[in-house]
Amino acid sequence: MKSAVGDDFPIIGKINLTDGIKGGLHLEEAIKVATLLDKGGLDALVCSGGTSPYNPMIYFRGESLGTGLAEQQKNPLARFLLKIASNRLFKNYPYYENYFLEDAKKVRDSVNCQMIYIGGCTELDSLEEVMREGFDFVQLARPLIKDPAYVNNAIASLNSGKNYVNGCIHCNRCASLIEAPGGVYCPLNEGGGQ
Ligand SMILES: Cc1cc2nc3c(=O)[nH]c(=O)nc-3n(C[C@H](O)[C@H](O)[C@H](O)COP(=O)(O)O)c2cc1C
Ligand code: SF4
C-alpha cells in the first residue's frame, strides 16, 4: 500500500482491542497485531472494540440500542417484542468517559506510530486526559452528532478554565437510526437535530 500511495499519504489502521465474543480477538492479540502493523509502516492506529452484528454495545456503552430500535417500530407488537428481546440481543456495558483508554494505552506503549483515541470523549477534561496520556488525535462519533461545534466549544471553554460537557447522554438513539431512511441525527437536539 505504501508503495502504491507514496510516503506523503497517511495510511491509518483500525483494529479491535477486543471483539467481545468467544473465539474472537482479545487484547494480547490486538497488541501483537498492532506491533506488526507498526513494523509494516502504518502511520496511525485507531483502537476500537466489538462488532456490529455480534457485540456492538462494547463500542457504544450506555443505553441499549434496542431502546431506540423499539421506538422506531410502528407496530405495537413488534415494539413490544423488540423491547423484550433487547436484553438478549444487546449486552449491558456501563458507560464511563474514555472507556477504551486503559486498554488503548497498552497498545500505545507497544507501537511507535501515531495513536488515535476513540470512545466516550464527551468532555473537555476527557479530551485533555487522552492528550496527557500521549495520544496524538481523538476521533469522535456521537459527541459530534450531539454537538457539531464541540471542538470550538471545548476550545472556548479551555480559554475560560472550565470543563466543557457536551451533552451527549449515550442513549444511542442516533446509532439505532443507522438504517433509518432519514439518516443519523440526535433526536435530543432541538428540532430533532436534523
Ligand atoms: C452513527 C454511527 C455510525 C458508526 N459507524 C461505524 C462504522 O461504520 N465503523 C466503525 O468502525 N465504527 C462505527 N461507529 C462506532 C464509532 O466509530 C465509535 O467506535 C463509537 O461510536 C464510540 O465512539 P464515540 O463515543 O465517539 O461515539 C459508528 C458510530 C455511530 C454513532
Ligand atoms: S442520540 Fe444524541 S445524546 Fe443520544 S447518543 Fe446519540 S448523540 Fe448522544
Q: How far is the centre of ligand 2, averaged over its atoms, from the C-alpha of 174 (Å)?
A: 5
Helix (H, G, I), strand (E, B) or coil at 149: coil
Instruction: Please check the confidence at residue 83 and state whether its pLDDT lies above 90.
Output: no
Stronger pLDDT, 1 or 32, i.e. the higher one: 32
- Residue minimizing CA distance to atom 3 of ligand 2: 168
How many structural domains comprise the chain?
1
Q: Which atom of ligand 2 is nearest to the CA of 145?
A: 7
Distances (CA, A) of 167 to 75, 133, 146, 149: 31, 24, 7, 12
192 confidence band (pLDDT: 50, 70, 90):
low
Helix (H, G, I), strand (E, B) or coil at 48: strand
Nearest bound ligand to the CA of residue 192: 2
Q: How far is the centre of ligand 1, averaged over its atoms, from the C-alpha of 65 (Å)?
A: 13
Residue 191 pLDDT? 67
| CA–CA dist 63, 77 (Å, integer) | 22
Contact status, residue 143 vs residue 161, Cβ threshold 8 Å: no
42 confidence band (pLDDT: 50, 70, 90):
very high
CA dihedral 33, 39, 45, 48 (to 10 degrees): 10
Mean pLDDT on 94-106: 98
159 confidence band (pLDDT: 50, 70, 90):
confident
- Residue minimizing CA distance to atom 7 of ligand 2: 146
Distances (CA, A) of 52 to 7, 20, 93, 109, 126: 33, 11, 15, 27, 25
CA 94 to chain centre: 14
Q: How far is the centre of ligand 2, averaged over its atoms, from the C-alpha of 74 (Å)?
A: 21
Question: What is the chain's mean pLDDT, rounded?
Answer: 94
Instruction: Quickly tell me which residue has 452484528 as its cell.
Output: 53
Q: Which atom of ligand 1 is nearest to the CA of 172?
A: 31
Contact status, residue 82 vs residue 66, Cβ threshold 8 Å: yes
Domain containing 140: what range? 2-193
Stronger pLDDT, 191 or 84, i.e. the higher one: 84
Contact status, residue 108 vs residue 132, Cβ threshold 8 Å: no
- Residue minimizing CA distance to atom 13 of ligand 1: 141
To the nearest 10 degrees (0 to 180), the angle between helices 76-89 and 65-72 is 170
CA 149 to chain centre: 18
| CA–CA dist 148, 133 (Å, integer) | 25
Q: How far is the centre of ligand 1, averaged over its atoms, from the C-alpha of 150 (Å)?
A: 17
Mean pLDDT on 47-76: 94
| Ligand 1 residue neighbourhood (C-beta within 6 Å) | 48, 59-60, 118-121, 140-143, 174-175, 178, 184
Residue 97 pLDDT? 98
Q: Select from 47, 64, 82, 10 the least CA-distant residue to 172.
A: 64
Instruction: Please check the confidence at residue 98 and state whether its pLDDT lies above 80.
Output: yes
For the domain that residue 126 is a member of, what is the CATH number? 3.20.20.70
